[in-house]
Structures are given as structure tokens and as C-alpha cells.
Structure 1
Amino acid sequence: MSPNKENYLKTIYELNYDFTKVTNKRISEIMNVSAPSVTEMLNSLSSEGYLTHSPYNKIVLTDKGNKVSEQLVRTHRLWEVFLNSCLKYPVDSVHNHADILEHLSDDDLVDHLDDFLGHPQRCPHGGIIPGNGQGETDADDKLLSMIDDDSIVQIVRLSDNYEFLQYFNSLGIAIDDIIKIDKHEKFDNSLIIEKIDGTKITIGAKAIDYIFVEPRPESAFDKK
């Protein structure tokens, strides 16, 4: 299978945990490719038995596609851990390098890499590493855009998109930060959040669909 096809399968697998419906448009945005290119590739993957693609834009991986995709995601995220923890690559830079390495790795190499790293449960972006998550999946996380005002949450995962990660790094927040949802702006759908130190930050409407959180108790936001 070509690296390009593998990238599509991996993207669809990850989107299945991020959104209720995987669409051509979302795949196009994440992969930065044209809509016609997405349609052409989906038709090809469907004909090879990796997914089903209905005229109503419902995209679902088959068992065959899910098995291949899960191994790709596992390999990709393990390489991200290696690049970040062992070679000290910045979190926003590991994705593209891991993208190359994943296509060059067989199962034996991946198993040795996993052993070397000590069986990490999450990648540097917070994504669960398939096979290492002790029953957890990315589906346990909630989109920041879906959280009500005044809620206390912890940032646990980020979508693996280079442009978004560059933007996220400029905000002054990080994975594991505990934040309070201050207000959803009705005018532009942006979100104002508050950090424990009292700093308020506005996050763009598009970006809040790339950030995943878990609820935390009020006591976790103690400013003392």
C-alpha cells in the first residue's frame, strides 16, 4: 500500500474518535488536500475493501481498514514519543518526521520501539497509543467546543495538525493545563478560557474543535 493511502486511512481512523461523522470536508482540511482528491482516494480505498463510502458522505472503516489503520496510528505515535523524548524534537515538529518513519517500519521494529520506550500510553499530543492505553481510547475525551461555560477541564489531547499545533503553541497554554471555560463568544464562536493564574485567553472558533479535554472538579482550579 502506498504511503498516501496509509495516510488517508490513519486520518479517517483518528477522525472517527474526534467527530460524530467523518466527512470529505474534514479529511480535506486535516490533510490539506482538495475535495476532488479526497473523493478519488475514498473511491479507491472503498474498492479495495478498506472502507465504505455512501453517497450521503458516511465514511466507515471496515474491519480490514480498521486493523491497518490502528497499526499505523500505533506506529506513528510511538515514533512521535521517540522523537520528542529521546531526540528532543519540539511537540509541534514530531508529526511530519513520524509520518515518514511510520511507512518504513515493520511490526517487529515497532514492537522493539515500544519495548525501548517502556510502553508509553500517550503520544506527545495526548493521543492514546493503541495497545498501550489500558482500555482507554481517544473517544473518552471531549471536544473543547462542546464544554459549557464555567466548567473546569484539563487539556488532554490535541489534533495532530501542524498548522493548528503552531497556533496552539502561540496561545500560552499546554497539554495537562487545567482551565476554566469563561465564555463562548456568540459573534465569532471563539472561546475565552481562564488559566489558574487568572490569565484569560481567547481561542479561535476553528481551534476549539482541535482541542480535547476531560472534566475536573472545582477544587482542581484552586488559585491559592
Structure 2
Amino acid sequence: MTPMKEDYLKIIFELGGANKLVSNKQIAISLDIAAGSVTEMVNKMVDEKLVTHKPYSGVQLTKTGTRYAEELVRKHRIWEIFLINVLHFDLPDVHREAEQLEHVTSDKMIDHLDDFLGHPKRCPHGGIIPDKDGHYEKDHDKLLMDAKDGEEVVVNRFIDNHDLLTLLGDIKLDLGDRLKIISHDPFEGSVVAQNLTDKKQLTIGYKTAHYVFVK
């Protein structure tokens, strides 16, 4: 399986595609690629029975696709924990390193690393880590973009992206922060929110608001 196809499996999983339909638009925004490229890859993944596709609605992982995604996500996120907790990498830098390591890590090695780290349940940016049997707590969150004006939400996790994590560090938006949604800009699509934890108002861009999950 190509690294690009693996990236698709991971992002569909991260967007909730093991349990619900994920739109091609969500995939395109999250991977920062053209919509036409997503359509082409989705068609290939349908042929390989990794996803099912419902026209005009989106894709969902099959059982086979879900299992592949769980294995990839587990290796990737366990390495992220190791890089942060043991080697003291900065959070925005761990994704690229973990991306390389996951492809050369055997199941035996990742099981030993999981034991060494005490079986973490969440990675440094809030994503779930399946255990070796594919068990994990299901997230029931949504994109920050989909939160309604006046709603209060808690930041639950972020998409694993270097530029995003750097930006969130700059604006001091952290996991566990409680936000009150003030408004959505009708033209730019940005979200204005009051960070009730830090007592600061934030303007969060359209793309960024598709990378942050809240509950």
C-alpha cells in the first residue's frame, strides 16, 4: 500500500469515517489537496474495498479499511507519545518523524513500545490510540466549524498537522479549553469564539476550524 493511500485511510479514520460518512470536501481540506485528486483516490479505494462511497454524501471505511487505519494510527500515535515524552520533541515536529517510523515498525516492536509507555489512550494532539486488538473509546465530537453561535464547547482534539499545531500554539488554543462560539463570518467562514479558559477572544480561520474537534 502506498504512503499516500495510507494517509487517506488515516485521515478518513480521524474524521470519523469508521462510523459515519466523511465528505470528499472534508478529506480535501484536511489533506490540503485538490478535490479532483480525492475523487480519483476514493475510486481506487472503493475498488480495493477499503471504503464504500455514497454519491454526494461521502465515504466510509469498510471493516478491512478500518482495520488497516487502526493499525496505522496506533503505530503513528504511539511513536508520537514516545517522541514527546521520552525524546522531548516539540509537538508540531512529531508528525513527520512518526510518519517515517510507522512504516518501518513491526507489530512486535510497537507492542513493546506500547508496554514501555504504559498503554496510552490518547496521543499528544488528542487522537485516540487503538490497542493491539483494535479496541478504543469512540469519539463523539464534531468540527469546530459545525458548532453553533452561542454554543459552549470543549476542545477535544486536533488534526495532526505541523502548521496547524504551530498556529494553535501561537494563539494559545489547547486541549481542554472551553470555548463559547460568538459568530461565524458569512463571507470568510472564520469562527469568532471566547476562550473561557484563558479569558481571550479568538478569531479562528475557516481552514483551522475544520482541523479542530470539539465536544
| Ranges in structure 2 where 5+ consecutive residues have no aligned partner | none
Shift in Å, 1:134: 7.7
Report the 3-state secondary structure (helix = DSSP H, G, I; strand = E; otherwise coil) of the residue aligned with 1:40. Answer: helix
- Taking a change above 3 Å as real, the CA distance of residues 201 and 55 of structure 1, as seen in their structure-2 partners, is closer
Moved more, 20-29 or 163-172: 20-29
Q: Could you say what secondary structure the match of 1:174 adopts? A: coil
Matched with 1:222 is none
Question: After superposition, where does 1:124-143 map in structure 2 within 5 Å?
Answer: 124-131=124-131, 136-138=137-139, 140-143=140-143
- How many angstroms does 1:129 deviate by? 0.9
Equivalents in 1 of 2:138, 2:72: separation in Å? 15
15-24 vs 38-47, which moves further: 15-24
Structure 1 residue runs of 5 or longer lacking an equivalent are: 215-224
Distance 1:144-1:29 versus aligned 2 partners, 3 A rule: closer
Deviation at residue 56 of structure 1 after TM alignment = 4.2
Which residue in 2 is equivalent to 1:147? 147
CA–CA separation in structure 2 for the residues paired with 1:36 and 1:25: 10
- Structure 2 residue 208 is the aligned partner of structure 1 residue 207: yes
Query: Which range moves more in the overlay, 1-10 or 105-114?
Result: 1-10
Please show how residues 48-127 of structure 1 align to structure 2 within 5 Å: 48-56=48-56, 58-127=58-127
TM-score between the two structures when normalised by the length of structure 1: 0.81
Counterpart of 2:5?
A: 5
What CA distance in whole angstroms lies between the structure 1 residues aligned with 2:82 and 2:146? Answer: 32
Q: What is the match of residue 220 of structure 1?
A: none
Q: For 2:183 and 2:40, how far apart are their aligned partners in 1? A: 41
Aligned-partner residue type, residue 33 of structure 2: V
User: Alpha-carbon deviation of 1:175?
Assistant: 1.5
Which range moves more in the overlay, 53-62 or 92-101?
A: 53-62
- Decide whether aligned partners of structure 1 residues 19 and 29 sit closer, same or farther in structure 2, where only a CA change above 3 A counts: farther
- The 2-side partners of 1:56 and 1:150 are apart by 30
* Contact 1:18–1:143 (8 Å) recurs in 2: no
* Runs of 4+ off more than 6 Å: none
Question: Contact 1:154/1:178 (CA < 8 Å) preserved in 2?
Answer: yes
CA distance in 2, matches of 1:180, 1:18: 29
Give the superposition deviation at 1:81: 1.0
Change (3 A) 1:54 1:144: closer
Q: How many residues align?
A: 213
Whole-angstrom distance in 1 between the partners of 2:76 and 2:147: 29
Q: Distance between the aligned counterparts of 1:78 and 1:173, measured in 2?
A: 23
Counterpart CA distance in 2 for 1:30 and 1:197 is: 27
Q: TM-score, normalised by structure 2?
A: 0.84
Question: Which secondary structure state, in structure 2, belongs to the residue aligned with residue 16 of structure 1?
Answer: coil
Alpha-carbon separation, structure 2, partners of 1:194 and 1:124:
24
Alignment-derived partner of residue 14 in structure 2: 14
In the alignment, the residues of structure 1 paired with residue 58 and residue 150 of structure 2 have an alpha-carbon distance, to the nearest angstrom, of 35
Q: Residue by residue, what CA displacement relative to the aligned partner does 1:136-194 show, whole Å, maximum 9, x if unpaired?
A: 223x1232223334443321201122332232222122112233333334453322222
Given the superposition, is the C-alpha separation of residues 142 and 11 from structure 1 closer, same or farther in structure 2, using an over 3 Å criterion? closer
User: For 1:23 and 1:208, how far apart are their aligned partners in 2?
Assistant: 16
Which segment drifts farther, 15-24 or 5-14?
A: 15-24
- 1:25 maps to what in 2? 25
Looking at structure 1, the residues matched to 84 and 5 of structure 2 have their Cα atoms a distance apart, in angstroms, of 26
1:107-131, Cα deviation, whole Å (9 max, x unpaired)? 1111111111111111111011123
Percent of residue pairs identical: 44
Q: Conserved in 1, the CA contact under 8 Å of 2:18 and 2:62?
A: no
2:169 matched residue in structure 1: 169
